[in-house]
Structure 1
Amino acid sequence: MSKINAEIKKVSSVLEGHMTIPNYQRPYRWTEENVRLLLEDITQSWKEGKNSYRIGSVILNNHDSQLNIVDGQQRITTILLILKSLESTIGSELRNSLQYRHSDSLNAIIRNKRFIDSWLRENIENSKSSFGKYILDYCEFVEIRVADLSEAFQMFDSQNGRGKELEAYNLLKAYHIRAMENNTFEEKVTCDITWEGAARYQVDKESSDVSNLLRQLINEQLYRTRLWSRKETAHAFDKKYIKEFKGITVNKNHPIEFPYQNRELMQYVVQNYFKSIGVSVHGIKSRFRNISPENINPFALVNQNIVNGKDFFDYTETYVEIYKRLFNSEFEEMKNFKKFVQDNCKYVGSHRDGDQYLFELYKSLIILMFDKFGEEGIEKYSKILYLLVYRLRLEKEQVRYTSVAEYPVQNEIFKIIENAKSYADLLPLEKMANKEVICKKNVGSIIRYFIQQNIKLESADEKKVNLKDYSFA
């Protein structure tokens, strides 16, 4: 364990440091709301005459005589913008030396500087000097300096934002970077860049909401699929369950413990050998018909045993790319399937919580089917899987999270797909999909589709669901 120095410092002292923003850092993305909350917190502390206000932590990594900012870029940048608006000369040298490589950062800086100017005019106009002095001399950071990058990431997983603990999925990054003890600094940085890129990726390009593909994928399509495939009820992913994505560490310092781990050892050795000599394995079956993206590992499986370190990052990168190509319209692959999803999963009312639970279940089934049988499997079974999932929407007046979490365990749909070795093994899915549906909920687009597929429908209450309103032709 290398030395870690932690010290509480005034803002004025922290800003004297010669800090840099490393290439692997995410953009500066604080919103006006983030800035407003910080300004209000500091202002309240200042007006109450408190002797100190703790802004948060700054984690710095000593590398090549530079202090790289691992965590704290958002807060430091915002404080620098506030001080500039207050016309303080403190921090000007650091402000001029920091390089923001992302266009998103520059746009956010311009937007937030404009907001800060306006906010200060409205709230601090006649007390700028006093307010600026309070920030410099009474506001504090916990400055943590770490020589080893993996330890810097380990420190990073403790706090984020305004003291809010990081989400479960992000704790995995620090854990698996720590397992990369035999990898180079550049490999660790590359894994971090890829991870953060996925965390910034907007899941639904048609929505203006900022989203997070990595969180979506790990919390839903990976974690819950792994449990459902074992016939276990899959509730929400949180810190209690991160062990699901902790596996074995394969290197000279961590020999395997049990015979069942031999398979992971063999896969690790073979893959790394072929990578080292620059040779690909011929005859591999791609999941997509006409493409074989480099960042999709053909050996990865949703339900594979986890190998810690870089293999875990390859695993998540594979399914991030698969998710994009299956569900995002910007990619050319699987156009017919994407049209089917748009036509049948984006109906009036599909934004309701229960309907969203069903959509996540459907996507998880699609990814598992794609995992096993590729593009052809989706063409053959996407409609059958739809019938299996969306019958729940018709059978229940309210679709609750618990009922969706338990449904795949009751009928073993994931286990059937996971154990299948040919399409013949999937016949039980077709039989279940064709069963009669007793309708308690009137969702017209779903009812019409079931009728088109010749599924027998009965109404539980004709006052609520009158099937005579629909054409059976």
Structure 2
Amino acid sequence: MAIKRELLQFQTVEDLLGPGRTPLRIPDFQRPYSWTPQHARQLVTDIAAAQKRRPDQPYIMGTMILLKRPQEDPFEVVDGQQRLLTLHMLRTLLRDGRLSDLAIGSTPIHLVYQELARLVEEMQDKVAYQDFLDTRAQVLRIVTDDEDEAFQFFDSQNFRGKALRPHDLLKAFHLREMVATTPAEQRAVVEQWESAEENDLDRLFGTYLARIHWWSRNLPAHAFTAEDIDLFKGVSRSTPHLPATEYHRAAKAVLPGVQEWAHPEADQQTSRDLRRARHQLDAPISAGRSFFDFAAFMLEEMKRFESLLFRRDTRTGEPDDDLAIFSNGARFHFNRELYIAAALYFTNKYSEEDLHSIRPRLFRWAYGPRLAYERLGWRSTDNYARGLAATRDGLAEFNLFARMRDSLDPSHLALENLPIPQAVRSKSTDDDALQTILQEIS
């Protein structure tokens, strides 16, 4: 996105909606208002909770993306119209104003207005709430002058009035944790985050990081939702100062300086391992800036391995036509995800130095289940990852992720000569080719 750096800033609700506001326009391509009374109640409750918890500190509600067309004054609201319109209604009601056209009706905007009117009527101190809303509640305003990219934002799921994705909520949480940093630092992490593809972030957190967390703890994996974001909130300013959290706070604060002192001229592999040490998947994240660094690094790792793991040689990147057929397509979908998740966890813990030699065994472990079932579904995949495959399936019956979590030495993983089914249960020629490859791996 062509972000206008000079216009990237945090704005209070007063800045957005007050007398000196920048003219805004809802463009024709936006869908109608779709928030429900529940969304409105949550917004009002969240603001009240922030007012009670930190009355003198900014409360960052998220981002608003605007399109600035050449030679036109009004900015077009690409993302954030639902929240913006809700804040306008709330602000009007707090000032004892009325939007008479919305008082009666049953469309979403009518129902939200009526709910807001009820909530405002029940407030004990409207003046204090109004002051906090105007002066402390903020959004990060992002302005682009690229119409094509603005429409790409609109076409994505989040910008069609649907619920925010879990990683959007994580971004908002960790951005709020950066309240003590400079605006330049905050702009930098937002630009870094916005440069990533939505689907890549979905895949990173939902397909890999959340599953690694669950499987390594012998827990069943499921779809990563907003209810699961606590997995990646980490150690924040509000986390109690207990021995375990103090250890992680100290380690995160000291490690970068120690690494720079010990490895002033690190080569590429050493540099990558130093970053892995700072972003251990088994350790809690430090809330705020560190989370964005963590996400950027793990996104880089994921995209590297999605290509590198299907090469003949992970050190040189030499192509391998035999492996290429297993890197795409629905038939090997779950195997591919197991394979990449295992490699991400392995290298995060043990380095990439031995990846070339261990990679075939990870491949055999991840793709063996494809031969055991005519149709490999999610339940069988999840059971296999947790070491719960049935003995009759002829597969390994241990949890590789739990072994990695409990072992500091990769030689203790016992990946040699893993069992695989001796007979292919489908008529797919790709499965025959897969069996030949797996039988050659010891």
TM-score category of the 2 structures, normalised to the smaller one:
0.5 to 0.7
Q: Which residue of 2 aligns with 1:344?
A: 323
CA distance in 2, matches of 1:181, 1:225: 30
Q: Which residue of 2 aligns with 1:187?
A: 185
Cα deviation digits, residues 206-232 of structure 1 (max 9, x gap): xxxxxx322211111211111111111
Q: Which residue of 2 aligns with 1:442?
A: 427
Shift of 1:195: 1.2
Shift of 1:395: 0.8
Q: Which residue of 1 aligns with 2:347?
A: 370
Asked if structure 2 preserves the Cα contact closer than 8 Å seen for 1:246 and 1:306, the reply is: yes
CA distance in 2, matches of 1:338, 1:167: 37
CA distance in 2, matches of 1:401, 1:338: 32
Cα deviation digits, residues 19-75 of structure 1 (max 9, x gap): 79xxxxxxxxxxxxxx9964xx6xxxxxxxxxxx6499xxxxxxxxxxxx94142xx
Q: Which residue of 1 aligns with 2:209?
A: 222
Cα deviation digits, residues 182-219 of structure 1 (max 9, x gap): 2111111111111111236xxxxxxxxxxx32221111
Letter in 1 for 2:64: D
1:17 aligns with 2:22: yes
SS of structure 2 residue aligned to 1:234? coil
Letter in 1 for 2:429: G
CA distance in 1, matches of 2:213, 2:265: 23
Cα deviation digits, residues 289-333 of structure 1 (max 9, x gap): 3x626994542112221221111112111111222333347xx99
Shift of 1:384: 0.9
Shift of 1:420: 2.6
SS of structure 2 residue aligned to 1:198? coil
CA distance in 2, matches of 1:162, 1:452: 45
1:270 aligns with 2:254: yes
Query: Could you say if the C-alpha distance between residues 384 and 424 of structure 1 is closer, same or farther in structure 2, counting changes exceeding 3 Å?
Result: same
CA distance in 1, matches of 2:176, 2:186: 9
Asked if structure 2 preserves the Cα contact closer than 8 Å seen for 1:169 and 1:219, the reply is: no
Shift of 1:361: 1.4
CA distance in 1, matches of 2:427, 2:281: 35
Letter in 1 for 2:236: T
CA distance in 2, matches of 1:238, 1:328: 27
Letter in 1 for 2:294: Y
Query: Could you say if the C-alpha distance between residues 238 and 393 of structure 1 is closer, same or farther in structure 2, counting changes exceeding 3 Å?
Result: same
CA distance in 1, matches of 2:220, 2:63: 37
Asked if structure 1 preserves the Cα contact closer than 8 Å seen for 2:372 and 2:421, the reply is: no
2:439 pairs, out of 454, 459, 470, with 454
Letter in 2 for 1:268: K
Give the alignment of 1:272-287 within 5 angstroms: 274=257, 280-283=260-263
CA distance in 2, matches of 1:425, 1:5: 60
Shift of 1:281: 3.3
Give the alignment of 1:30-45 within 5 angstroms: 38=30
Q: Which residue of 2 aligns with 1:50?
A: none
Q: Which residue of 2 aligns with 1:334?
A: 314
Letter in 1 for 2:380: S
Query: Could you say if the C-alpha distance between residues 153 and 232 of structure 1 is closer, same or farther in structure 2, counting changes exceeding 3 Å?
Result: farther
Letter in 1 for 2:196: A
- Alpha carbon RMSD of aligned pairs, Å? 4.5
CA distance in 2, matches of 1:197, 1:147: 30
Q: Which residue of 2 aligns with 1:243?
A: 230
CA distance in 2, matches of 1:285, 1:403: 46
CA distance in 1, matches of 2:411, 2:272: 29
Count of matched residue pairs: 327
TM-score, normalised with respect to structure 2: 0.61
TM-score, normalised with respect to structure 1: 0.58
Give the alignment of 1:143-158 within 5 angstroms: 151-152=138-139
Query: Could you say if the C-alpha distance between residues 421 and 8 of structure 1 is closer, same or farther in structure 2, counting changes exceeding 3 Å?
Result: closer
1:307 aligns with 2:286: yes
Q: Which residue of 2 aligns with 1:172?
A: 170
Query: Could you say if the C-alpha distance between residues 424 and 152 of structure 1 is closer, same or farther in structure 2, counting changes exceeding 3 Å?
Result: same
Cα deviation digits, residues 135-159 of structure 1 (max 9, x gap): xxxx99x9x99666x84159xxxx9
Letter in 1 for 2:195: G
Letter in 2 for 1:241: D
Shift of 1:170: 1.2
Show structure 1 runs of 5+ residues with no match.
21-34, 42-52, 57-68, 82-90, 99-138, 201-211, 457-473
CA distance in 2, matches of 1:240, 1:18: 36
Letter in 1 for 2:248: E
Letter in 2 for 1:334: T
Letter in 1 for 2:407: A
Q: Which residue of 2 aligns with 1:388?
A: 365
Query: Could you say if the C-alpha distance between residues 455 and 442 of structure 1 is closer, same or farther in structure 2, counting changes exceeding 3 Å?
Result: farther
Cα deviation digits, residues 446-469 of structure 1 (max 9, x gap): 43343345369xxxxxxxxxxxxx
Asked if structure 1 preserves the Cα contact closer than 8 Å seen for 2:368 and 2:438, the reply is: no
Letter in 1 for 2:252: Y
Asked if structure 2 preserves the Cα contact closer than 8 Å seen for 1:247 and 1:307, the reply is: yes
Query: Could you say if the C-alpha distance between residues 321 and 222 of structure 1 is closer, same or farther in structure 2, counting changes exceeding 3 Å?
Result: same
Query: Could you say if the C-alpha distance between residues 234 and 153 of structure 1 is closer, same or farther in structure 2, counting changes exceeding 3 Å?
Result: farther
1:199 aligns with 2:197: yes
